[in-house]
Every structure is written in structure tokens, then in C-alpha cells.
Amino acid sequence: MRNSMLAAGALVLVTAIWGSTFFVIKDAVSAVDPIDFLAVRFAIGATVPAIVFLPRLRRLTAKQWLVGLGIGVLFGAGQIVQTIGLQTTAASISGFITSVYVVLTPFVVWLFFRARPSGQIWVAVALAMLGLAVLGLTGTASFGLGETLTLIGAAVYAVHIVVLGSWAERMDAMALAIVQLISVAIICLVMGAPGGYRIPADPTVWAAIGYTAIAAGIVTMALQTWSQRCLSPTRTALLMTLEPVFAALFAVAFGGEEFTVRLLVGGGLVVAASVVGVRGVEASSRELSVAG
């Protein structure tokens, strides 16, 4: 019981750190190119754990390295699209839109493994669409480019979760996580190479890089890996729905964003969709396990 409570507290801390990164990254990418930011962030975030857990990496086969790097490509694509979207999207809204991956995941399972979503998932989709419509209400009552890119990023994250789930039990979890970080670092370094990397000597930018690489990367990876050993998948998913809530709280408290009825209602609907969708994700996971 004590370990369960500690694990739940650790996972809440993880979601709070993740939530705080939205406004931190938004401020940073206003002063530096998103790809340059991600390249340096993941280069640091991959190098440190790779050194610490080098023996685990050495035990991976060539096939496992290729699989891990391939899964990392999906994660990297989601990171790139989401970060670019943050340039023109409020951090609070970005957090809620990103969380829609919970609702999208069962549909990816359906597409890949013909595991039809349950009725709860369709209810979750309706709630999510209504929430996104409220969040996207502007003068033209439509999503802008930033919101659209963020939603695409959420869809990529859903694909990443499904592919990762089919391999997670076949590989060392920590080693697989590190290989994915290495993959993202390589992708961003290659993408940023033609124009060169331009990171201004701005303490705010470097603080954001350090925070997202270490606190939101290495620390949360360790806490999440430990906590998920003590918690059920359903409880873990429920706790993770707090991430967009923290994103909104941090954006309003420290990011200078305004708390509005639109944010409250739209965000509340998206969180409700995520909570309703958790059971569907769990059912889809069982289908994926059988299919695998």
C-alpha cells in the first residue's frame, strides 16, 4: 500500500513536470528554431542515460536497436510537430489537444489489429470533439495551423503508443526508452544540420533546454519506469490525464495566459473524454496482447 501511494505521488509529479513543459517550451521556441531546440534537448537527454545504462544498451541485439530506433522515429515526429505547433498555439490549449492521444489510441489498435472500439470510446470521441471545438473557437470558429499540427502530433503519439506496446514486453524497458531518445536526437540533429544550430546565449533558452532534457526527460523517465511497476495500467492512465490540467495551470500562473470560460469548458470536456476513454484503451491493450 505504501509503495502504491508513493508510486501514485511520483506519477502525479511526472504529469506535473510534463504539464509545465508546455509553457516553458513555448517561451523557448519564440527565441530559437524548434528543431535546434529539440536537437540540443534530446542530445543531452539521450547522452546522460546512455552513459549511465551503457551495460543494458550493450545487451541489445542489432534487431532490437533497429526496432528501438524505428519506434523513436514515431516519437520524434510527434515531438517535432507538437513543438512547431506550440509556436502559434497557447500552451494551455496545446496540453489539452495533445491529451487526445488517449482517445485516438483505440482507433489505431482498430486500424492495425481489427479490434473494434467499444461504445465508451465513441462517447469519448464525442466528448473530445466537442471539447476541441470549444477550445478552437476563435473569430472564425476554426482551428489554426498550430492547433492542427498539435492534433496531428497527438495522432502520431497514439501510433507510437500502439507500436511501443507491441514491443515493450520483449525488450528491457529502460534500454528501449534510451534508444528512442537517441533516435529523436539523431533525427533532430540531422534536420538541423543544413542550416547549422543557432542557440542564442539566452539564459531562458538554456534553462528550458536543461529543464526539459533533465527534469522532463531523465528524471521523469526514471520515476515513470518505477511507478508503473506498482500501479495498474488503468490507474496509471487515469493519473496521466492530469497532464493537460497541469499544463493549463502552469500556463495561466507563469506563462501569462488568460483563464477563460472557453478553456475551462473545452479543457474539461477533453479531460472527461480521456477519463472515459481509459477503459477503452485498456480493452484495446488486451486485444493487442492477444493479437501479438
What's the confidence (pLDDT) of residue 7? 84
pLDDT at 278 over 80: no
> Which CA distances in Å does 215 have to 107, 182, 199, 241?
32, 17, 20, 19
What's the confidence (pLDDT) of residue 53? 93
Per-position DSSP letters for 191-251, written without gaps between them: HHTTT-----S-HHHHHHHHIIIIIIIIIHHHHHHHHTTTS-HHHHHHHHTTHHHHHHHHH
Q: For 194-246, how does the pLDDT look when each residue is reduced to its tens digit (9 = 90+)?
A: 878 788 778 888 999 999 999 988 888 888 878 877 776 667 777 888 888 99
Would you tell me how many other CB atoms lie within 10 Å of the CB of residue 109? 28
The verdict on pTM exceeding 0.85 is no
Q: Quote the Cα angle for 166-171-174, to 5°.
A: 110
> Which CA distances in Å does 109 have to 138, 150, 209?
33, 21, 34
Q: One-letter amino acid identity for 45?
A: G
What's the confidence (pLDDT) of residue 291? 46
Average pLDDT over residues 243-257: 89
What's the confidence (pLDDT) of residue 5? 83
Between 137 and 291, name the one with better pLDDT: 137
What's the confidence (pLDDT) of residue 184? 93
In the block, which residue shows the cell 488517449?
102
Per DSSP, the three-state class of 259 is coil
In the block, which residue shows the cell 473494434?
116
Between 288 and 14, name the one with better pLDDT: 14
Would you tell me how many other CB atoms lie within 10 Å of the CB of residue 56? 18
Between 268 and 280, name the one with better pLDDT: 268
Q: For 153-201, how does the pLDDT look when each residue is reduced to its tens digit (9 = 90+)?
A: 999 998 988 888 777 677 888 888 899 999 999 999 999 888 787 887 7
CA distance linking residue 286 with residue 292, whole number of Å: 10
Closest CA to 11 of 281, 222, 177, 266: 222
What's the confidence (pLDDT) of residue 283? 53
Dig out the grid coordinates for 161 from the structure. 503508443
Is the distance from CB of 208 to CB of 25 less than 8 angstroms?
yes
- The pLDDT mean for the chain works out to 84
